A and B are shown apart, each in its own frame.
Chain A
Amino acid sequence: MGRLSILAAGVGGQGIITLASTLARAAVASGTKALVAETHGLSQRGGSVEVHIRLGDVHAPLIAPGDADVLIGLELIEAARRVSHLRSGGLLLAADTILRPAVPGVRVPSREELVSAMRRAAGDAKVVVVPARELASKVGGLLFSNMVMLGALAGSGILEGFVGVEELERVIGTLRRREENLKAFRLGLDYCSTHCSSGRG
């Protein structure tokens, strides 16, 4: 069946673990082996968080450097921090959100600086910046960005053969606030259906 490795990154509290476990549950429901490695780190909220999602013919829970097929960033700084994990020809989906680290006197790069630096480093990987905040606010707030991004991932087509959209929607339907979550997922999916073409080539 091959394998698909997805690195999801963001800030504690953004719902990355929900994103990852939803995807993995849907994978298992689609008959695909899934491993999701979480790193809780020191604080519940506010720290940098990454989750490794591996689908298909896999044993190792962690993705090796340069072996990620997809990098999903729920926040731009955190996405930029991990571009080197992406394989050449991979897909980078980054939410258009910047969260300031709670550090005295910190200098936060601008959106433009981050996006162009990411594009430069990503080489031949495809980079798509998803207006996740804007889409999520249509359904009820920043809270739903994680489902927008999961939708974007599904919309990119890269999950084909691993996880079905129907299975994804079924699992999302079991979450609390299912209507909002499903709507957010579909907004992301529609966005990416027009703005991302599969990074697999």
Chain B
Amino acid sequence: MPSPEVLGPPGAEVLLLGNEAIARGALEAGLGFASAYPGTPSTEIVETLASVAKKLGIYVEWSTNEKVALEAAFAASASGVRALAAMKHVGLNVAADAFMSISYVGVRSGLLIVSAEDPSMWSSQNEQDNRFYGMMAYVPVFEPHSPAEAKEMAATALDFSEKLGTPILMTPTTRVSHTRGPVKLGQLRPRAPKGYFKKDPKRFTLIPAHARERRKAIIERWMRVKEAVNDLPFNRVEGSSRVVIVASGISYAYVREAVDRLGLDVAVAKVGTPVPLPARLVREAIAGAERVLVVEELEPVVEMQLKDLVASEGLDVEVHGKDYVGYEGEMTLDRAARAILEFMGKNPLETPWRAGNTVDLELPERPPAMCPGCPHRATYFALRKAVNSLSLKAVYSGDIGCYSLGVLPPFQEQDLILEMGGSIGAANGLARVAEGQVAIAIIGDSTFYHAGLPALANAVYNGNPLLVLVMDNRVTAMTGEQPNPSTGITAMGEKARWIPIEDVARGLGVEKVVVFDPYNLKEAFNALRDALKYVVDNKKPAVAVARRACSLYIDRIARRRGVETPLYAVVEDKCTACGICYNAFTCPAIMVKSDGKAWIDPDLCTGCGVCAQVCPFNAIVKVREGSPEWEKLWF
């Protein structure tokens, strides 16, 4: 839930999450349209905008993927409405084709593209540095260092974008997007999402003849951008010294604190637009310097441009960066301090920050786990049994979502996880090539609509024998239960058409489609066995839909409305301490007592009742009926 302070009065200083600050900044700069596909750490930007959309009269949507989100936001901008598209860093890969072309045609009203980066991969499959996308597409990159700056940048970016006719790429990292900090509010100026698309085919239709002209235009635009970034308040020099530390984005926060606390005699050049480098400003900062250290996360984007500047102007200054700072992972205070001290010829161990003792006791790991009541757990349990019952050798082609956690014991039913939609794509190849193995693609509902459809059409078209198992929990759960085409509501809370996955599968020509409720293990087992048998016997694709809403989503609604859920408990005398419920099913609500018998924590139990079906001794029973409203919450 976004903080109510997002709509606070001008002049107030409030605590906002970085992503909320970006939303507020855009609203202060006349935003009328926002679209996004969720992805950590970007999600709260559009979640925040959606929560205030009706009140402010702007339009906000969850798009089916990042490419669609960006295309839609672009069209709003081309029609005269300031727009924002948000995504996580890898989302820009999905939107990259659109991103390149949008740079070519340019924008009319301000267009802000936010790609939230995730150094250290807290919730991502890679730590790519999207500032390179800015370089490749001639799109300026804004990189904030705090929630307060993120708000200012979002607002300034929309103005700058409109003034120079260029989209802007903003790249907050996890530590900006997911940090709460004080933010000074300005005037809200939302605007109605109404404009008009003035035709200009020479500019907006990228046939080769037009594209060649646009290529010239964007290089000219880039020259103007390169000059203009020098005057942005996000780039500045603090202090003067023969030693200069150039710090980009969030690294500035660490460098500033390290330099202050260590009392070092250095100048700090803060860079808020790493692409293009504010060359005039940086050149002034290093004019009298002998040595310069660039501190930035991930790739040497600023460092390369600075070295280029120094070489092309024949400056007599030594530039360092990655050789002291390193590439991997996010910046930290001690990492910045060690790099600076070493660079200055001091002992890097002189930092006051050193880890203390760790406990001399082996601590169990606590990997992320599927929630109590998670329908995915039940589906995995049934799938394993169905595969074994047919003595099949399965390759589980996995995907990205809460169900990725099926990679961990006890299930281990994810053999491959690449990128969103990759499960069905790769299963096409496995189905053709992997001999004696059956390809099972496992994908979530949101991911299915994001990038699964072309791959499923491919399977039908090419007749590739694979099972697509869609874990349809009716929401985009992993990123916080956003609605999607399988939910039946929009980002702004309006009723929408629910698109059932089985209808899509049949529409694409899949001849075998089964739908089951994973909370009924027997039904799930039979449906999966049936579909698998069909794939093996007929050498054709089949689709199985495991339909049961996300338990966390339902549980939250139940708690909020005070709806009583059913409750299960272990019958002491019947429990044999076999451990199946806590070792082979691993519901986090099931605890182990010192005698090895199970105990269900009533604070955690969601009442799904699957453990009662798992127990071979009928030792788990319902001890409280849920209220009748509880059944009605499930959709």
Contacts and interface: CB of A to CB of B under 8 A. Distances in A.
A and B associate in one complex: yes
Interface of A: 11-12, 20-21, 24-25, 28, 33-48, 58-67, 77-78, 80-81, 83-88, 99-109, 113-114, 117-118, 120-123, 125, 141-143
Given A28-B15, A102-B587, A103-B367, A44 B358 contact: no
Interface in B583-630: 583-584, 586-588, 591-592, 603
Contact of B332 (A62, A66, A77, A117): A62
B561 interface: no
A102 B140 CA distance: 46
A120 B359 CA distance: 7
Q: Which 9 A-B pairs have the closest CB atoms?
A: A43-B368, A47-B368, A64-B353, A46-B369, A65-B355, A117-B361, A42-B368, A64-B333, A117-B359
B536 interface: no
A81 B334 CA distance: 20
Nearest to B332: A62
Nearest to B181: A35
A44 B357 contact: no
A11 B591 CA distance: 15
B552 interface: yes
B516 interface: no
Contact of A107 (B122, B174, B364, B368): B364
Contacts of A65: 334, 353-356
Contact of B182 (A34, A46, A83, A107): A34
Nearest to B603: A142
B386 interface: no
Interface in B555-604: 579, 582-584, 586-588, 591-592, 603
Contact of B361 (A104, A109, A142): A109
A81 to B, nearest CB: 5
A58 B356 contact: no
Given A36-B180, A123-B357, A106 B402 contact: no
Given A40-B40, A47-B366, A77-B364, A87 B356 contact: yes
19 contacts: A24-B180, A34-B180, A39-B122, A39-B178, A42-B478, A45-B588, A59-B253, A59-B254, A64-B334, A65-B354, A77-B363, A102-B588, A104-B410, A107-B362, A107-B364, A117-B359, A118-B359, A121-B357, A122-B357
B423 to A, nearest CB: 17
Nearest to A106: B364
A74 to B, nearest CB: 13
A67 B257 CA distance: 13
Given A59-B256, A85-B355, A86-B356, 4 more contacts: A25-B15, A64-B334, A104-B586, A142-B603
A116 to B, nearest CB: 9
Contacts of A12: 368
Contact of B356 (A61, A78, A121): A121
B340 to A, nearest CB: 13
B216 to A, nearest CB: 43
A66 B356 contact: yes
B394 to A, nearest CB: 20
A84 B356 contact: yes
B500 interface: no
Interface string B240-259: 00000000001011101110
Contacts of B181: 33-36, 61
B360 interface: yes
Given A40-B122, A60-B253, A60-B333, A120 B366 contact: no
A72 B4 CA distance: 27
Given A34-B15, A103-B365, A83 B357 contact: yes
A24 B14 CA distance: 10
Nearest to A120: B360
Contact of A101 (B123, B355, B366): B366
A94 to B, nearest CB: 12
Given A25-B15, A42-B405, A88 B368 contact: no
B53 to A, nearest CB: 23
Contacts of B257: 58-60
DSSP majority for the B interface? loop
Nearest to B592: A100
B409 interface: yes
Interface of B: 3, 13-15, 40-41, 122-123, 146, 174-175, 178-182, 250, 252-254, 256-258, 260, 330, 332-334, 337, 351-372, 402, 404-405, 408-410, 477-478, 480, 552, 579, 582-584, 586-588, 591-592, 603
Contacts of B367: 47, 101, 103
B341 to A, nearest CB: 13
Contacts of A123: 356-357
A28 B334 contact: no
A145 B353 CA distance: 31
Given A65-B354, A100-B591, A44 B179 contact: no
Contacts of B14: 28
A102 B257 CA distance: 39
Contacts of A66: 352-356
Interface centre among A11, A104, A121, A141 (most CB of B within 10 A): A104
A6 to B, nearest CB: 13
Given A25-B15, A78-B366, A117-B361, A43 B405 contact: yes
Contacts of A21: 3, 15, 180
A104 B40 CA distance: 28
Nearest to B123: A42
A12 B370 CA distance: 11
A61 B179 contact: yes
A19 B279 CA distance: 44
A44 B15 contact: no
B41 A40 contact: yes
A142 B367 CA distance: 22
Interface centre among A12, A37, A43, A99 (most CB of B within 10 A): A43
Contacts of B587: 102
Contacts of B362: 107, 109
A132 to B, nearest CB: 13
A64 B352 CA distance: 9
Contacts of B402: 43
Nearest to A21: B180
A80 B359 CA distance: 7
A84 B357 contact: yes
B364 A101 contact: yes
B351 to A, nearest CB: 8
A39 B252 CA distance: 20
